[in-house]
Chain A
Amino acid sequence: MTFLLRRALFYLITLWAAITANFLLPRLLPGDPVQAMITKLGGRLNSDAMASLYVLFGLDEKKSIWEQYVDYWGALLRGDLGLSFTFFPTPVADVLSQSLPWTLGLIGVTTIIAFLLGTLMGVYAGWKRGSWMDTLIPVTTFLSSIPYFWLGLIAISVFSVTFPLLPASGGYAAGLVPEWSGEFVGSVLEHAVLPGITIVVSSVAGWILGMRNMMVTVTAEDYVLVARAKGLSEKRIMFAYAARNAVLPSISGFALSLGFIVGGALLVEMVFSYPGLGYVLFQGIGAKDYPLMQGVFLVITLAVLVANLLADVGYLLLDPRTRREG
């Protein structure tokens, strides 16, 4: 259990660092962008909203930085992330809670698919090295060198513009009301196909490559040789002996590269105008909507940390050594 506790402690520290960075950035960087926005919106802000923006962005010069920090935490714990300028006068927290499910659905599912698919292909490529699978390596390298968003653009141009097979933007067909009906769910799935495939194709290569190289290394180990000498079946050696050990770096890598993958996937949402956090962030950039951008950053960080903790649980189940007390 100590393993999980240590990891959880680390994630708490990371969360604290992210929140503190969020607190410090608008106070350290030159210029007062938020003040400019408040002036622009003028009388349309009510006094409550004004007060929370002052707390979040440190516009209240009379308070010491320490008092500001305490107030900031107070606001966060109340779930108060300020008002969005883009979706004025909706609070940032409301915008985020509407778009978070879309992002979790799209990015969560595609990341897991890419990881499982890539790892499986890596197992085979590493086990049967020298076979045709080796030609996959340069192809996937090329695919992973393409920015996610560009692949998304190409996908739209081919499958929505040239051959109008799939919708190019949005999360569901216009005119439908979000509800649990067959029509709506079907529309959601249809709209998720192109962005989903884009994310899987561009992120799968990394897993294939990492897994293949670990398989190649592990296959030369003595315990694999012993398993062979015992006459175990090929499949059993491949999965229960080689792959189970080779997958460990992939899983710890999964945790660490998640932040990077999520960044790329957010871009895919932007390109497809998918109603998740990435698209919200994109709209926020255009409008210089700092409360919204910072809110997106915090929510994404939180989601990545939770996913990391889940990956750690997986690691714990696969590697008995981490279960040892002490």
Chain B
Amino acid sequence: MNFKTKLGLGILAFFTLIAVIGDWIAPYDPSAMSDDLLSPPSGAHWFGTTMTGQDIFSQVLVGTRGVMVVGLVCGVLATFLSILVGVTAGFLGGAADEALSALSNVFLVIPALPLIIIVASMLPSADTVLIAAVISLTAWAWGARVLRAQTLSLRRRDFVEAARASGERTWRIIVFEVLPNLMAVIASGFVGTVIFAVMLQITLSFVGVVSLSTWNWGTILFWAQSNQALGQGAWWWFVPAGLCIALLGTALALINFGIDEYANPRLRKVRA
């Protein structure tokens, strides 16, 4: 494991920890108003305060959980769907493959963001878990496509043929012979999906179609934008949440490079 991967894992572990303990270590109630209106970062308020005197540091801490939960739930759900569709398509071939590939390509080509905005704004209550489910439904297609290609290259290998010749059932070949060889691809697909889901959730919160009753980094940005934080020069209102998103995204991307280099030795660093 190289330095980049370790760095990525370290940052991810840090945010996971915050997601668990954020509620307890937050110095203030994130929604509580105070008399320190729109004050820049100080000893009392590390990330400054909002227009109504809410503590932004506490909002970021408490909001981490919502972000991580959506990332995790979507990652698991969408990865499951992509394995189901991608591996089945690649392994079975023929008409089933044509149909399933067309299905995942349709999901890839249709612009997901406007579609999810419509769905989310039509739902009577767009809470975190529901949004995670909706995002998962659009997030599986890329993984399915990659898995299908990889499965295609595996299905005629000798060890699979051997399992087939010895009369193993199809599902058993898929689960015990094919899947273990797809682990690197599945892992990188999972990480990619988490990035996608986190970005999408934050975007949806920022646009204001997700319920604003729970905090996440996107809701902070929503309030900053709707109170014209920019025009008032309140940079501290939108910088911390954005940097957290970028850090988390970078960490996940670094982990993905690590997986890529593990799976494709040509990408590893050359020692001159």
Contact = CB atoms under 8 A, between A and B. Distances in A.
Interface of A: 10-11, 13-14, 17-18, 21, 25-26, 29-31, 33, 129-130, 138, 141-142, 144-147, 149-150, 153-154, 156-157, 161-162, 168, 213, 216-217, 220, 255-256, 258-260, 262-264, 266-267, 270-271, 281-282, 285-286, 288, 290, 293-294, 296-297, 300-301, 304-305, 308
Given A220-B266, A270-B207, A305 B109 contact: yes
A31 B124 CA distance: 7
Contacts of B195: 145
A25 B118 contact: yes
B27 to A, nearest CB: 25
Interface string B108-120: 1111111101110
Contacts of A213: 260, 264, 267
Given A217-B266, A259-B109, A267 B207 contact: yes
A293 B105 contact: no
Given A29-B123, A141-B250, A150-B238, A129 B270 contact: yes
Given A25-B118, A29-B123, A130 B112 contact: no
Contacts of A146: 242, 245-246, 249
27 contacts: A14-B109, A17-B110, A26-B122, A30-B123, A30-B124, A142-B246, A142-B250, A144-B253, A145-B252, A147-B199, A149-B203, A149-B206, A149-B221, A150-B245, A153-B221, A161-B231, A256-B108, A259-B112, A262-B111, A263-B112, A271-B225, A282-B207, A293-B117, A296-B114, A297-B114, A300-B114, A304-B111
B96 interface: no
Given A153-B225, A162-B233, A301-B110, 18 more contacts: A14-B105, A21-B115, A129-B270, A141-B254, A142-B246, A147-B242, A150-B221, A150-B242, A153-B242, A154-B239, A260-B113, A263-B111, A263-B203, A267-B206, A267-B207, A285-B117, A293-B117, A297-B118
Interface residues of B, number: 55
A282 B100 CA distance: 34
Contacts of B117: 281, 285, 293
B125 to A, nearest CB: 10
A141 to B, nearest CB: 5
Contact of A18 (B110, B145, B221, B269): B110
A263 B118 contact: no
A216 B118 contact: no
B176 interface: no
Contacts of B121: 285, 288, 290, 293
Contacts of A14: 105-106, 109-110
A297 B102 contact: no
A259 B124 contact: no
Contacts of B254: 138, 141
A272 to B, nearest CB: 11
B202 interface: yes
Contact of A161 (B111, B230, B249): B230
A31 B230 CA distance: 36
B124 A145 contact: no
A168 B4 CA distance: 37
Contacts of A267: 113, 203, 206-207
Contacts of A141: 250, 253-254, 257
Interface in B228-272: 230-231, 233, 235, 238-239, 242, 245-250, 252-254, 257, 260, 264, 266-267, 269-270, 272
B93 interface: no
Most chain B beta-carbon neighbours within 10 Å: one of A145, A154, A161, A296:
A145
B40 interface: no
Contact of B111 (A25, A259, A282): A259
A294 B117 CA distance: 10
A217 B264 contact: yes
A266 B112 contact: no
Contact of B122 (A29, A138, A142): A29
Contacts of A296: 114
Contacts of A154: 239, 242
A294 B203 contact: no
A308 B111 contact: no
A207 B42 CA distance: 41
A293 B115 CA distance: 9
